[in-house]
Chain A
């Protein structure tokens, strides 16, 4: 059942033509008209996109009381039992909606949009030159394209984040039949340096983070609180990776930006179209924190990253340091030594890097956002491209803690890539700051060999920010068009 929601319609006796059974039932024209009339009457009391009447069409009733309406001009609507719109498809567009009427995702022939419960937006579009453009919020994103350099094939991502521009390199490999991109560290270190970060220090190091008083920390206070004392480099790196992940996802320049602290840790929100969709017929904005409607589920409050969870993440850092050390010693074997397959073991923790719309084990919809922590329940069976994970730490409005969710392996790869990129950056910072600011001095053997920089291809010169700006406009247009098309009085003709 869809969250046990009461259906807002009843089916007239002859409406199924006497074929009402355990599976989906297609209603007769009269039955369809009757059910749609009841549904649209109920929708009249709802807000936003749910206030708009569903056009006439053939109605299919599913065993869980949800409805599919096949309307004219190839438009299809999936409705929850309570009459709210779950998804729409037609004219090369597909969209999903949250119970409160806000967009969750849009798919067209040239763009994919995912929206989080707090309005965060991830946009992905493929380019004719095999490049891929990904926007994560309005001021952060990257352009990815294949590059050959010194006999190696890479996928290079040119990131822009505010005024910053930098590149990351990835290698492609196959896992469970999927082609996945695996992060390549910018530098490798002496084994003793990995060891110094791995093992406990002689004494706890008192440390004050530079971002301790930043806006993103204020927004995440109570959810993530950095320690002020560290037993080891791994513990310090755990807070570094968590803090940087939350910082990266925080977009102070966004339209909601610093005012969005109450949900999602103030993560980047694009208000432009989501806000329009969320405005109901009475001119009121839908409340992202209101109780879930229909088949949505959300956490009523933060489930913070506790010290115990941080310690578990520090243990993951230690494990990854061992992998990175092994890979540094055997560069040819690196993809097998430090990548995702190494960590696909039960209870491995992943830190979510960007908004993910997911389905729970009981078929409810919810979202994860950057900084949420999820735990792998079991290694995926051979051939499976998905994995089940349990939500461990979560922001208010995201999937509730304890929920089991299913994620595709490429999403887990991206989380692992982000974790490794933050660790890569953190190791550089740790090396630079050792012996300062409260951090103990590393032994000479750990820091005397200089880091070995990766042999990286030259940076792309394309104006990625301009491409991202254009993509944002396309996404705005796509989001606007999909709702207009879905409820247009005169739908566009099929070509």
Chain B
């Protein structure tokens, strides 16, 4: 913008000229004031608030925790009762134990993403006689790792831990476990009928543990 000069033609009446000059000076003063104010405003704006968008939401590495927990819940509830015949050979004395008809049934499995917990009710029976009938819960934040085990290996680990390493057990039909190893050196198995399901549930549980901030603190 330019400031107009305030000169007037020489033939103008003196008084009118004076007024016009005065008016022109006022206008130009206003003009200057406007320019100065604009400059000040611009400077102020330059250091005033600037709109900033939020940072981008990172793409998740896999399914969300809610989806993952729902998958775990659905797969475990779908297992139903697992029935098998249990054959046991005691290597310490060479004896075979009677064959037991065992049933394991996990019901009402709830995998809660809000608490990172899986809870369920487990009933076991031997020849129709109920053995265990109680509620269980697993905090995924306390899990170090998961292992997929055959039923034979799971039984061997349990028996060894219980001081009976000489027992060899075989299940017919065999089943699989997804066994959580916890920070307190205890283990919690989940029972599934197929190896494929066991691997898929284990993968989902590892992902859930990562999303829940559990797992081993070691880098590898």
Q: Which residues on A are within 8 Å of B, measured CB to CB?
A: 173-175, 191-196, 198-199, 202-207, 318, 321-323, 325-326, 336-337, 341-342, 344-345, 382, 434-446
Contacts and interface: CB of A to CB of B under 8 A. Distances in A.
Contact of B212 (A175, A191, A203, A446): A203
Given A437-B213, A440-B211, A198 B54 contact: yes
29 contacts: A174-B47, A195-B54, A202-B64, A203-B65, A203-B116, A205-B213, A322-B55, A325-B52, A326-B53, A336-B50, A337-B52, A342-B49, A342-B52, A345-B49, A435-B210, A435-B213, A435-B215, A437-B213, A437-B217, A438-B214, A439-B213, A440-B211, A440-B213, A441-B61, A441-B215, A443-B58, A443-B61, A444-B61, A445-B59
Interface residues of B, number: 32
A195 B57 contact: yes
A207 B211 CA distance: 14
In the A-B complex, list the 5 residue pairs whose CB atoms are closest, starting with the nearest.
A202-B65, A192-B58, A194-B55, A195-B55, A325-B55
Contacts of A207: 213
B47 A173 contact: yes
Q: Is the contact region of chain B dominated by helix, strand, or loop, or is it mixed?
A: loop
A438 B213 contact: yes
Contacts of A203: 65, 113-116, 211-212
B24 to A, nearest CB: 29
A199 B211 contact: no
B59 A443 contact: yes
A193 B52 CA distance: 17
B60 interface: yes
A202 B70 CA distance: 13
Interface in B180-220: 210-215, 217
A344 B57 contact: no
A207 B141 CA distance: 10
A137 B217 CA distance: 38
Nearest to A341: B47
Given A191-B56, A440-B211, A204 B114 contact: yes
A35 B65 CA distance: 77
A154 to B, nearest CB: 19
A436 B213 contact: yes
A337 B40 CA distance: 20
B60 A443 contact: yes
B1 interface: no
A473 B212 CA distance: 52
Contacts of B52: 322-323, 325-326, 337, 342
Contacts of A442: 58
A207 B214 CA distance: 11
A493 B90 CA distance: 107
A12 B17 CA distance: 67
B55 A336 contact: no
Contacts of A198: 54-55, 57
Nearest to B53: A322
A337 B212 CA distance: 34
B13 interface: no
B48 interface: yes
Given A205-B212, A323-B52, 20 more contacts: A173-B47, A174-B47, A175-B47, A191-B56, A192-B56, A195-B57, A195-B58, A198-B55, A202-B64, A206-B213, A318-B54, A322-B53, A326-B52, A336-B50, A341-B47, A342-B49, A437-B213, A438-B213, A438-B214, A446-B58
Nearest to B139: A206
**Residue among B44, B56, B61 with the highest chain A CB neighbour number at 10 A:** B56
B66 interface: yes
B46 interface: yes
A319 to B, nearest CB: 8
Contact of A441 (B54, B113, B213): B213
Given A322-B53, A322-B55, A438 B113 contact: no
Nearest to B216: A436
A78 to B, nearest CB: 37
